[in-house]
């Protein structure tokens, strides 16, 4: 290992980040599902040989935080001596440095000059991974097996080519197999691109220098995060936030955090969080850590290079048996993007009294999911997985932004033209919702309204969103934003409001109208 000089280190830092970003472009340009090529529900990362994150794309924070653990957990199941050049392994196990079953990780070991140098990891949300309901979101689920295929590490590709038998098992147990195969191959291509680019760097600078740069970047980020933590108010702070419900129904569930800032370190203890839930709003300790990593980056060090070293001064504690560390038999598909957001809100609320100028009020912190399933215009099964943005919370110096993604989500809208070309659905309306942001000295951002007109005889519909019961909170005296609402309007003129977690069938002529939440206001209204 050779430590590069500061100038070469900066060149290599940008080159490594560029590799991760190119991986994401490869997936978006070659995947088959609209969820990947249009909405961009994917993330990419490079790690060192031990699995520590080295570089990431400008992707989805909850994915990137989780991928800080994926390779390390993978190596405990698949020792490094089993790995060979050309291998690509796939897994989605939540307990293996993961989050939920639809997020499938492709892991490629990269060798240079005869030794393992690092890994390329491509995470892609598959629009269906099997299970009891199209799209693999089961609002009434009480067992993990209802949510789809659980893939332990499987070597699906080697230097000799694909393992067709293993791939066939996966494709025969998921809806839309041609689309799933295309998405899988896009992940394969992304990791192959990363391997070529990393070997090019080694050819130019030497593998020992690239390896040394990885270690130096860890150390530099650690020092920067320690300094950022030291600049925060010292002491103990507590915060809490609540889930609307657990899916099958019931009372809100509490997420509680105790934060201890001591010198250059920070400890986040979630032991007081409620027990594991019956429904699919549980999540993993890795998602909990991802929420902490995001919050501390946003609050303390936005410019710090995110990598394994950046997170060394942070300790995250969860309680086994809680909804943040449940038994592996528990369902958790919604926890990835709903419970994780409640964790960030709890952390922000813990700091609200001491550093309000660094925070925003509560926003549309939910993926806002609608999932339509049925035959597409070509007759093949298709799943339309639609996340929705809403209003951002206001800050001390400005209003909140309208129609955006807040905190841990970072996907795009699927264009109406794509939906109408590929699905038997017409988008009748997509507009801002004036007045949905909370009042304050600075108002919260506006949410949106999108109306789907079903043109097929029958389609499945799944809702999975929060902030319907408990709206985005105001800060420093600001008022709450408007809550989420989803309306089902039948051709005969009847209308009902759908729950935030539901599975149902819709038919020709039905209109599904989703109104996303506005952001909370900041400061007392004038």
Rounded to the nearest 5°, which phi and psi values hold at 206?
95, 135
- In whole angstroms, give the CA distance from residue 513 to residue 301: 39
Q: What is the pLDDT of residue 237?
A: 98
Is the model's pLDDT at 272 over the cut of 90? yes
pLDDT tens sequence across 68-95: 999 999 999 999 999 999 999 999 999 9
Q: What is the pLDDT of residue 337?
A: 95
Average pLDDT, the chain: 95
Comparison of pLDDT for 1 and 415, the residue scoring more: 415
pLDDT tens sequence across 463-478: 999 999 999 999 999 9
The structure's pTM equals 0.96
Q: What is the pLDDT of residue 211?
A: 96
pLDDT tens sequence across 335-345: 999 999 999 99
Q: What is the pLDDT of residue 366?
A: 95
pLDDT tens sequence across 195-214: 999 999 999 999 999 999 99
Q: What is the pLDDT of residue 381?
A: 80
Is the model's pLDDT at 378 over the cut of 80? no
1 falls in which pLDDT band (50, 70, 90)?
Answer: confident
Question: What is the arrangement of strands in the sheet containing 115-125, beginning at the earlier edge strand?
Answer: 53-56, 42-48, 115-125, 103-112, 88-91, 154-158, 161-162
- In whole angstroms, give the CA distance from residue 496 to residue 370: 16
41 falls in which pLDDT band (50, 70, 90)?
Answer: very high
Segment 144-173 mean pLDDT:
97
Segment 399-410 mean pLDDT:
93
Is the model's pLDDT at 246 over the cut of 90? no
Give the pair of three-digit tokens for residue 158. 């080697």
Is the model's pLDDT at 460 over the cut of 80? yes
Q: How far apart are the first and last CA of the chain?
A: 61
Segment 156-165 mean pLDDT:
97
Q: Please work out, in degrees rounded to the nearest 5, the angle formed at the alpha carbon of residue 225 by the alpha carbons of 222 and 229.
A: 140
Q: What is the pLDDT of residue 58?
A: 86
Q: What is the pLDDT of residue 412?
A: 86
Percent of the chain with pLDDT over 70: 100
Strands 369-375 and 458-464: antiparallel
Segment 32-37 mean pLDDT:
92
Segment 500-525 mean pLDDT:
97
């Amino acid at each position: 290992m050779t430590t590069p000089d500061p100038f070469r280190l900066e060149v290599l830092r940008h080159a490594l980040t560029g590799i991760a970003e190119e991986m994401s472009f490869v997936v978006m340009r070659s995947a088959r599902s609209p969820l990947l090529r249009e909405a961009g529900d994917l993330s990419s990362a490079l790690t060192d040989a031990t699995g520590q994150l080295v570089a990431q794309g400008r992707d989805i924070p909850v994915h990137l935080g989780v991928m800080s653990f994926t390779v390390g957990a993978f190596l405990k199941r698949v020792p490094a001596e089993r790995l060979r050049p050309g291998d690509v392994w796939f897994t989605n196990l939540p307990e293996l440095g993961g989050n939920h079953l639809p997020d499938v990780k492709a892991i490629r070991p990269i060798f240079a000059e005869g030794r393992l140098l690092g890994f390329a990891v491509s995470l892609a949300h598959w629009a269906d991974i099997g299970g009891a309901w199209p799209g693999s979101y089961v609002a009434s689920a009480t067992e993990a097996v209802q949510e789809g295929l659980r893939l332990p590490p499987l070597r699906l590709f080697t230097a000799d080519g694909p393992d067709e038998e293993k791939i066939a098992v996966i494709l025969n147990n998921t809806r839309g197999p041609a689309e799933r195969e295309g998405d899988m191959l896009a992940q394969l291509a992304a990791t192959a691109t990363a391997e070529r680019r990393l070997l090019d760097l080694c050819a130019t600078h030497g593998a020992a220098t690239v390896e040394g740069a990885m270690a130096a970047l860890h150390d530099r980020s650690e020092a920067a995060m320690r300094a950022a933590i030291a600049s925060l108010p010292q002491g103990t702070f507590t915060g809490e936030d609540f889930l609307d419900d657990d899916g099958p129904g019931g009372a809100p569930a509490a997420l509680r955090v105790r934060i201890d800032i001591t010198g250059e370190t920070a400890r986040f203890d979630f032991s007081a969080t409620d027990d594991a839930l019956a429904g699919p709003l549980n999540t993993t300790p890795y998602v909990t850590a991802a929420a902490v990593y995001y919050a501390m980056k946003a609050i303390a060090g936005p410019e710090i290079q995110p990598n394994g070293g950046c997170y060394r001064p942070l300790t995250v504690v969860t309680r086994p048996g809680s909804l943040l560390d449940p038994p592996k038999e528990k369902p958790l598909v919604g926890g990835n993007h709903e419970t994780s957001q409640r964790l960030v809100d709890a952390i922000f609320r813990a700091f609200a009294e001491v550093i309000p100028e660094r925070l925003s009020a509560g926003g549309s912190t939910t993926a806002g999911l609608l999932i339509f399933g049925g035959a597409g215009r070509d007759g093949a099964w298709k799943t339309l997985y639609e996340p929705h943005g809403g209003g951002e919370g206001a800050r001390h110096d400005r209003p909140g932004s309208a129609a955006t993604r807040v905190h841990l989500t970072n996907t795009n809208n699927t264009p109406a033209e794509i939906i109408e070309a590929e699905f038997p659905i017409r988008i009748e309306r997509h507009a801002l919702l004036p007045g949905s942001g909370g009042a304050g000295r600075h108002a919260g951002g506006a949410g949106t309204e999108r109306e789907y007109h079903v043109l097929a005889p029958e389609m499945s519909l799944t809702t999975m969103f929060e902030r319907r019961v408990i709206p985005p909170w105001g800060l420093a005296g600001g008022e709450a934003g408007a809550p989420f609402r989803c309306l089902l309007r039948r051709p005969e003129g009847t209308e009902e409001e759908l729950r935030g977690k539901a599975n149902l069938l819709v038919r020709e002529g039905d209109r599904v109208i989703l109104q996303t939440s506005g952001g909370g206001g900041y400061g007392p209204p004038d």
